[in-house]
Amino acid sequence: MSEDLSTLRQEIENTPLDAEEAIDAFRIRFLSRKQGVVTALMKRIPEIAPEDRKAYGQDVNALKQRVEERLEGAQQALASGPSAGGGRIDVTLPGRPVPEGSLHPLTETMDLIVHVFTSYGFQIAEGTEVEDDWHNFTALNFPDDHPARDMQDTFFIEEGKTLLRTHTSPVQIRVMKSQEPPVRVIVPGRVYRNEAISYKSYCLFHQVEGLYVDKDVTMADLKQILHAFARTLFGHDVRMRFRPSFFPFTEPSAEVDIWWQDPDLPGGGRWLEILGCGMVDPNVLEAVNVDPEVYTGYAFGMGVERIAMLRYGIDDIRTLYENDVRFLKQFTS
């Protein structure tokens, strides 16, 4: 091999080919049709003296082959290499952050509530969000002139007939119609009310309803399960109280409050209502052909937003529906 050719050979072997631009420049320098160095050497073959031609041709061909091999190798390394810029990895670069998702605080709270009750043997039941007046009101012992039946509180689809359910209680009726006692269900779901939207009320929200109907179910059973529930959600030393109340579908009825400690308040805290409950009214059992002389039951219902707001210290219900990532990111665990 002549001296010229061996210098070229060295250049071919030693040119770094670690980036797209370098590879292109290399191809042009050696193989371009017009000014490629190896192309020019090939073109000269016919001019070489016949006795030297064979050896020269072989040398030039070998060079061409090396150029092609290096090009191919470099292309492959680039395509499979870890970084597009070349075959080398800078191990000192910080990693790219992977965006982390999280459960919405409502989902998290709902899941936790459902978990407490399913672990006590409750089954999950679901009804429909579009409900009829009978399931939503009549069968639940609402008198005809009850204010909740008013257009102002209820989104009617057809007035007096179909509506968006205002609570999850109609699922009590649906379950008892389709299943004989014993019945023990928990009903998570979405409900709708025609209310002015503000920091404390929204036109839709979530409830979890509970129903247990069997022989000899008593208010003591109700207190026991709700106490277990409150301890799981608000801590083992939670203080709770049952306050007499009224709901058309339970008798007696109660509201449950928990003591919310807050050193800024006079008295060091205050009672906050978390749910409504009671013993299933005999009229409700009769509406679904369950004999109230044989069976008794308890029911309870709670607003999930309210409980989530208490747990997380959220003071405006609307933030739960705005999908603002700055808000939601705070719940990434």
Task: Provide the binding-site residues for ligand DAH, judged by CB under 6 A.
Answer: 167, 169, 209, 247, 250, 276-278, 299-301
Instruction: Report the DSSP beta bridge partners of residue 201.
Output: none
Instruction: Report the DSSP beta bridge partners of residue 245.
Output: 253
Question: Measured from the CB of residue 135, what is the shortest distance to ligand DAH in angstroms?
Answer: 12
Question: Measured from the CB of residue 116, what is the shortest distance to ligand DAH in angstroms?
Answer: 16
Cα→Cα distances 259→12, 25, 109, 200, 241, Å = 82, 77, 19, 20, 8
Question: Measured from the CB of residue 170, what is the shortest distance to ligand DAH in angstroms?
Answer: 9
Question: Measured from the CB of residue 210, what is the shortest distance to ligand DAH in angstroms?
Answer: 7
Task: State the residue number with the nearest CB to ligand DAH.
Answer: 301
Nearer to ligand DAH, 6 or 224 (CB): 224
With beta carbons less than 8 A apart as the criterion, state whether 35 and 28 touch. yes
Nearer to ligand DAH, 36 or 188 (CB): 188
Nearer to ligand DAH, 25 or 228 (CB): 228
The dihedrals phi and psi of 140, each to the nearest 5 degrees, come to -95, 15
Angle 252-253-254 from CA coordinates, rounded to 5°: 130
Nearer to ligand DAH, 222 or 320 (CB): 222
Nearer to ligand DAH, 56 or 137 (CB): 137
Angle 131-132-137 from CA coordinates, rounded to 5°: 100
Instruction: Report the DSSP beta bridge partners of residue 204.
Output: 192
Q: How far apart are CA 122 and CA 304, in angstroms?
A: 18
Q: How far apart are CA 197 and CA 212, in angstroms?
A: 34
With beta carbons less than 8 A apart as the criterion, state whether 303 and 256 touch. no
- The Cβ of residue 139 has, within 10 Å, a number of other Cβ atoms equal to 23
Question: Measured from the CB of residue 119, what is the shortest distance to ligand DAH in angstroms?
Answer: 20
Nearer to ligand DAH, 120 or 327 (CB): 120
Nearer to ligand DAH, 181 or 276 (CB): 276
* Residue 183 three-state SS: strand
* Residue 83 three-state SS: strand
Question: Measured from the CB of residue 147, what is the shortest distance to ligand DAH in angstroms?
Answer: 13
Question: Measured from the CB of residue 259, what is the shortest distance to ligand DAH in angstroms?
Answer: 21
Nearer to ligand DAH, 133 or 209 (CB): 209
The residue to which tokens 């191919």 are assigned:
72
Q: Is-cis flag, bond preceding 248, omega within 30?
A: no
With beta carbons less than 8 A apart as the criterion, state whether 208 and 190 touch. no
Question: Measured from the CB of residue 115, what is the shortest distance to ligand DAH in angstroms?
Answer: 19
Instruction: Report the DSSP beta bridge partners of residue 241.
Output: 257
